Amino acid sequence: MAEPVEDIPVEEPEAEVEVPKKSKKKDKQDRANYPLKVNYCGVCSMPFEYCEYLADYDKCKRWWEEHFPDFFERAMKIGDGVDGEGDDPKKRQKRGGRGVIKAKKQVEKSKISVGRVTRNKKKFVTVVKGLETHGVSLKEAAKLFGRHFSCGSSVSGDEIVIQGDFVEDVMVLLVEKYPEIEEDDIEDIGKQKR
Amino acid sequence: MFKKFVAKENVSGVTQMKSSAIRGVRAKLIEDYPGLEEFQDVILPKKESYNLVKCHERIEIIAIGGEPVFFRQRDGPYMPTLRLLHKYPTILPWQQVDKGAIRFVLSGANIMCPGLTSAGAKLAPAEEDSIVAIMAEGKTHSLSIGLMKLSSEEIHTVNKGIGIENIHYLNDGLWHMTQIK
């Protein structure tokens, strides 16, 4: 866990350098370090030092505490140590403009619903809805279903249509194949009408 | 450029690049960014698949191994994405803005001259129309990539209005486009 150290603003290896020319000389000495590994916040996807400019700063802090405890501690210490940080918000207010910027929202996960539609008395198709909110690519999933059940499977709009009655099997397969899908996320909506 | 960019809506097509096209791009990139040369085998590997992502408004993104790496609009110069720049900060020359400007830049604003000439900022000599990385006072990583609208000297003398056009910044549409399928 040596990486977070690079993210501590105090060191400022690049910001200190005045002219790019100088920096190039400096970099040649420690070229072995490239590519630099930059850690991004799991909440807002920004480098840690920019989290404070987004609306969910508190959430970010909690995330740091969980994933990079040593960085979190150091960041908190810096915040306490420097007095200038304290009156910054007031200055910012004066300059007007927009308030804190909202991080782009992650789509809320909805339930995956699996249903069966009667085609003609004795034939069925299985319809799977709501997969895309779980970060599953519909196109790839449709292909997987087709291959797995050896039948036709296609994407139509925001749902996947599988030719044949595979309601139970699809539920098992989804949980097995995609670690991000829990059994509770899937709902059997039973018989549907077109 | 990427303020209202959504990967799902604005991409019109992804195609695999021809090896001759790749060669051309590689030569162009190294010509434009001499700092890139020492990393060319890592950034521009020969074995990876290169995809050209065509987007609305004539934006083209080059993705290597599924990861967006360079982009350009119309026949403009190629520019690195911020994620690449974070890994290799030396490929672009940089300018530093003061603390007060950070949040404006993060919401997509162009960089005004006073933000580049004040006490917290550092202005390196650069030509008009050159591509620069924008760093911030007290921060280690760059927060934006911009196009110099004035030369550094002009910024000093004019000290008013737009100095650098903000092209790609943290948290914009391109930033959130991490993988290309």
ipTM of the complex: 0.72
Q: Which of B103, B122, B144, B178 to mutate to test the interface with A (most CBs of A within 10 A)?
A: B103
Residue bearing the bigger pLDDT, A33 or B174: B174
A92 contact B CB<8A: yes
Task: Report CA-CA distances (Å) from A115 to A191, B79, B113.
Answer: 6, 47, 60
Q: Which CATH fold would you assign to the domain B11-80?
A: Sulfate adenylyltransferase (3.10.400)
Contact A14, B135 (CB under 8 A): yes
User: In angstroms, what separates the C-alpha of B152 from chain A's closest C-alpha?
Assistant: 13
Q: Could you report the per-residue pLDDT of B65-94, keeping only the tens digit for each?
A: 888 999 998 888 899 998 888 888 888 888
Neighboring chain A residues of B175 at a CB cutoff of 8 Å: 45
Q: Closest by alpha carbon to B138, among B107, B101, B95, B98?
A: B98
A47 contact B CB<8A: yes
The segment(s) of chain B belonging to CATH 3.10.400.20 are 11-80, 94-169
Q: What is the CATH number of domain A112-192?
A: 3.30.780.10
Q: Closest by alpha carbon to A131, among A156, A151, A150?
A: A156
In this complex, the residue of B35, B176, B181 whose CB is nearest that of residue A24 is: B35
**What whole-number distance in Å separates Cα of residue A81 and Cα of residue A98?**
28
Neighboring chain A residues of B135 at a CB cutoff of 8 Å: 14-15
Interface size, chain A vs chain B, as Cβ–Cβ contacts under 8 Å: 95
Residue bearing the bigger pLDDT, A191 or B149: B149
User: In angstroms, what separates the C-alpha of A182 from chain B's closest C-alpha?
Assistant: 24
One pLDDT digit (tens) per residue for chain A, 194 residues:
444 444 444 444 444 434 444 344 444 444 546 777 888 887 778 888 888 877 777 788 888 888 888 888 877 776 544 433 444 444 444 444 455 555 555 556 677 888 888 888 888 888 888 887 777 788 888 888 899 889 999 888 888 899 988 888 888 888 888 887 888 878 888 777 76
Neighboring chain B residues of A46 at a CB cutoff of 8 Å: 170-171
Enter the pTM of the model.
Answer: 0.67
Segments making up each domain of chain A, as ranges: 34-83, 112-192
Q: Do B139 and A53 touch (CB under 8 A)?
A: no
Q: What percent of chain B has pLDDT over 90?
A: 13
Q: Do A101 and B94 touch (CB under 8 A)?
A: no
Instruction: Determine how β-strand A153-156 pairs with β-strand A124-129.
Output: unpaired
Task: Report CA-CA distances (Å) from A136 to A49, A121, A158, A170, B107.
Answer: 31, 32, 12, 14, 30
Q: Which CATH fold would you assign to the domain B94-169?
A: Sulfate adenylyltransferase (3.10.400)
Q: Could you report the per-residue pLDDT of B92-109, keeping only the tens digit for each?
A: 888 899 888 888 888 888
User: In angstroms, what separates the C-alpha of B179 from chain A's closest C-alpha?
Assistant: 12
What average pLDDT does the structure give for chain B?
A: 87
Which residues on neighbouring strands pair with residue B71, listed in sequence order?
A: B61, B79
A43 contact B CB<8A: no
pLDDT of residue A194: 63
Q: Do A100 and B39 touch (CB under 8 A)?
A: no
In this complex, the residue of B35, B104, B171 whose CB is nearest that of residue A103 is: B171
Average pLDDT for B46-54:
88
Residue B165 has pLDDT above 60, yes or no: yes
Q: Determine the residue type at A129.
A: K
Instruction: Determine how β-strand B94-97 pairs with β-strand A112-118.
Output: unpaired
